[in-house]
């Protein structure tokens, strides 16, 4: 899995102070979120626009409401 920043645009942020590592986000959107064997949550911070539906599903299902989404403008004004 390639997790990281890909470009400017929509953004995903997880509040580490709220996240309790339940892993529901990974179940909802395994291409965007991954609980590693070290117990840390890794996630794609700048997903493609088409993946924001998955990110939104993960955000809705997070019991801690730790996932915040920001829509980007992709450089447009």
Residue closer to ligand SF4 (CB basis): 27 or 74: 27
Q: What is the nearest approach in angstroms of ligand SF4 to the Cβ of residue 58?
A: 7
Q: What is the nearest approach in angstroms of ligand SF4 to the Cβ of residue 25?
A: 3
What's the burial of 14, exposed, middle or buried (CB within 10 Å: 0-12/13-18/19+)?
Answer: buried
Which residues make up the interface to ligand SF4 (CB under 6 A)? 14, 19-25, 41, 62, 64, 66-67
Residue closer to ligand SF4 (CB basis): 38 or 77: 38
Residue closer to ligand SF4 (CB basis): 15 or 74: 15
**Token reading at 11:** 């953004």
**Residue with tokens 């539906």, as numbered in its chain:** 53
Distance (Å, rounded) from C-alpha 6 to C-alpha 44? Answer: 8
């Amino acid at each position: 899995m390639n997790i990281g920043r890909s470009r400017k645009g929509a953004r995903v942020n997880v509040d580490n102070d709220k996240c309790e590592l339940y892993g529901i986000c990974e179940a909802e959107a395994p291409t965007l979120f991954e609980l590693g064997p070290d117990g840390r949550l890794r996630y794609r911070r700048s997903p493609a626009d088409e993946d924001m539906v998955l990110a939104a599903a993960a955000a809705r299902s997070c019991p801690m409401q730790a996932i915040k989404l920001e829509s980007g403008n992709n450089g447009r004004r």
